[in-house]
Amino acid sequence: MFDALSGRLGGILRGLRNRGRLTERDVDEALAEVRTALLDADVNLDVVGQVVAEIRAAVVGAAASKALDPGQQVVKAVHAALVGMLGGETLAITYASEPPTVVLMAGLQGSGKTTSAAKLAAWYKSQGRQPLLVGADLQRPAAVEQLRVLAGQVGAPMWSAGSGAAGGAGGADPVATARGGVEEARRTGRDVVILDTAGRLAIDDEMMAEIGRISAATAPRYTFLVVDAMVGQDAVTVARRFDETLAIDGVILTKLDGDARGGAALSVKRVLGKPIAFAATGEKLEAFEQFHPDRMAGRILGMGDMLTLIEQAERAFDQKEAEATAARLLQGEFTLEDFLAQLQQLKKMGSLSQVLGMLPGVPREVRGAEIGDDQVRRTEAIIRSMTPEERARPEIINGSRRARIARGSGMQVADVNRLVKQFLEARTMMKRAGKGGRVGPPAGFPIV
C-alpha cells in the first residue's frame, strides 16, 4: 500500500544525503516535495500541513547538531513525523480484572469485519488467552456460518443464537445474542469474548442504534472499528461517525497489502484521535499483526522492520528444528528435503515480497519485486518430483534425471538446472562460512 509513498519519500531523502550543508531553500524545496507526496498518498490536507510544519521545526532545531549530517537530520525528522502520524505508540492491550474481556467489532459491510474477528481470536490465542467468538451479525445471510467456519480454522469455539441451550434463549435478537455470548464465556471459562456485529452497506440510524444497544448490554473493554484501507479518506469519515455513537478505542485496518495510496492509515490517528490497533496484511488468517507506528514508519522509509520479521519467524518456525537445520547448513549437510521444509515454514510468515519488505537495506526494486506463491509452488513441484536420494544428494542429478524431474513437475529442464545449481552453490557457500572461510555472494535465492 505504501510503495508509491515510500518511493517518493526515498527519492527526496536520497537527494539530501551526503550534502555538506542544507540551505533554507534546500529545506523549503524538500518539504514542498514531501507535502506533494503526502497529498498524492491521499493524506488529509490538515494532517499534511501539521506534519510539514513539524518536520520544518525539527530540521531547524537540529541545525546546530554535530552528530548528524543535514541529510540525516531530515531523515530523522521525517521518520519522527511519520511515527506521529501513525499513532506514536503501540496500543497496549489490557484485560478485564474479572473475565471475560469483551471486544466489540464494528464496521460497514464488506470491510472484513467477520474475518478480522477470527484473526483477532487467533492473535489472542497466541497471547495465551482463550477467546470465544460470538456471531451477533444476524442481518447478513450466512454471516454466522462464515464465522463458524473461520472459528474452526483458528481453533476457537464459536457461539450464536441457537448454538445450544444458552444460545437458544437469545433467539434472533442481536442484543440478546451478544449478551448470551458473554454469559456463555463465563459459564465455560473463556477469558476473551469477541462480538461480531452486523454491518450495513452505508451508515444508517438503525445500524448505529443497534450497535449502541449491544455496547450498552455487554460493556466492552475494547470497541474496534474495522476499516477497509482501500476506501481512502472515506474511511476517516466512517470512523468519525462510529466514534460519535460508540466511542471507539481503536481501528483495525484491513487490506493493508492492497494497492491504494495509504492515506487512511496516515490520517486516522490525527483526525480521529484514535490509534490503529491492528492491521491485516493479507487474506490468510496469520496475516494479522498488532500495529506498531515506529515499525511501519521504518518500512515506509525503507529502513526495514526486523522486530516484526523476528516475531513472525518465531511463530512460524520450530526452534529446535531450526537450530538443527542451521547446524546441518553450516556443516554442508543441508539437503533439498531440508530446503522444502524451510519453504513450508517460510510461507507461514506471509508472501516473500512482504518478508523482503521488512529487511533493512533492500533496494526498492527488490522490495517491490513480486515473488508470489506460484513461484514457490513451482520450486516445491520440482523438489517433490525428485526421489529421496536425489533430494539428499542433488549432485547425482544427471541429464536423464533432470529430464524426468522436469516432466514430473510440469516444468522445463532449464528450471530444474537453475534450481539445482543455485542450491549447490548456496550450500557450498554456507559450508565455507561454517568453517570460517571467505564467502562470496550467492548466485541467487533458489526460487524458480
CATH number at residue 395: 1.10.260.30
Q: What would the grid cell of residue 368 be?
A: 517491490
Give me the phi and psi of 9, to 5 degrees please: -65, -40
Dihedral sign for Cα 169, 185, 249, 305, please: negative
- Residue 444 resides in a domain: no
Of 257, 287, 303, which residue constitutes the final position of a domain? 303
Position 71 scores a pLDDT of 66
Mean pLDDT, the chain, rounded, equals 77
Position 130 scores a pLDDT of 96
Tell me how many domains the chain contains: 3
**54 or 181: which leads in pLDDT:** 181
146/139 Cα distance (integer angstroms) = 13
**Same domain assignment for residues 352 and 278:** no
Range of the domain at 64: 3-85
Position 174 scores a pLDDT of 92
Per-residue CA distances from 223 to 75, 118, 239 (Å): 35, 15, 12
176/163 Cα distance (integer angstroms) = 13
- Residue 151 resides in a domain: yes
| Mean pLDDT within 210-239 | 84
Residues ≥6 apart with Cβ < 8 Å to 205: none
Of 268, 303, 338, which residue constitutes the final position of a domain? 303
**Same domain assignment for residues 314 and 270:** no
**Same domain assignment for residues 297 and 315:** no
- Residue 160 resides in a domain: yes
**75 or 187: which leads in pLDDT:** 187
**Same domain assignment for residues 50 and 74:** yes
**Same domain assignment for residues 81 and 174:** no
**Same domain assignment for residues 170 and 107:** yes
> If pLDDT is split at 50, 70 and 90, which confidence band does 136 have?
very high
Find which of 52-61, 118-127, 261-270 is predicted with most confidence, using mean pLDDT: 118-127
**Same domain assignment for residues 72 and 216:** no
| Mean pLDDT within 317-335 | 62
**Same domain assignment for residues 132 and 276:** yes
Position 425 scores a pLDDT of 81
Widest CA span of the chain, in angstroms?
A: 75
**Same domain assignment for residues 79 and 43:** yes
The 8-class DSSP code of residue 231 comes to: G
Per-residue CA distances from 234 to 44, 227, 228, 237, 263 (Å): 11, 10, 10, 5, 10
Find which of 203-207, 245-249, 329-333, 391-395 is predicted with most confidence, using mean pLDDT: 391-395
Give the residue from 382, 384, 388 showing the smallest Cα distance to 410.
Answer: 382
- Residue 409 resides in a domain: yes
Report the range of poorest mean pLDDT among 66-80, 145-159, 319-333.
319-333
Q: What is the CATH number of the domain that holds 192?
A: 3.40.50.300
- Residue 442 resides in a domain: no
3-state secondary structure of 260: coil
> If pLDDT is split at 50, 70 and 90, which confidence band does 102 have?
very high
Please, are residues 287 and 257 in contact by the beta-carbon 8 Å criterion?
yes
> If pLDDT is split at 50, 70 and 90, which confidence band does 389 have?
very high
At residue 347, does pLDDT exceed 70? no
Residues ≥6 apart with Cβ < 8 Å to 377: none
At residue 196, does pLDDT exceed 90? yes
User: One-letter amino acid identity for 316?
Assistant: A
**Same domain assignment for residues 272 and 397:** no
**Same domain assignment for residues 365 and 222:** no
At residue 255, does pLDDT exceed 90? no
At residue 366, does pLDDT exceed 50? no
**Same domain assignment for residues 21 and 164:** no
Residues facing 276 on adjacent strands: 251
- Residue 440 resides in a domain: no
Per-residue CA distances from 63 to 79, 207, 333 (Å): 17, 53, 55
Q: Is the peptide bond before 100 cis (omega within 30 degrees of 0)?
A: yes
Q: What pLDDT digit, counting tens, does each position of 59-98 carry?
A: 776 554 554 566 667 777 888 888 888 788 888 899 999 9
With 0-12 CB in 10 A as exposed, 13-18 as middle and 19+ as buried, what is 162?
Answer: middle
Residues ≥6 apart with Cβ < 8 Å to 414: none
At residue 124, does pLDDT exceed 70? yes
CA angle in degrees (0–180, nearest 5) for 45-48-54:
150
Cα 274 off chain centre by: 19
- Residue 168 resides in a domain: yes
Give the residue from 398, 407, 425, 218 showing the smallest Cα distance to 334.
Answer: 425
Q: What is the CATH number of the domain that holds 29?
A: 1.20.120.140
- Residue 347 resides in a domain: yes
Of 285, 303, 321, which residue constitutes the final position of a domain? 303
Please, are residues 119 and 285 in contact by the beta-carbon 8 Å criterion?
yes
SS (H, E, C) 191-202: CEEEEEECCCCC
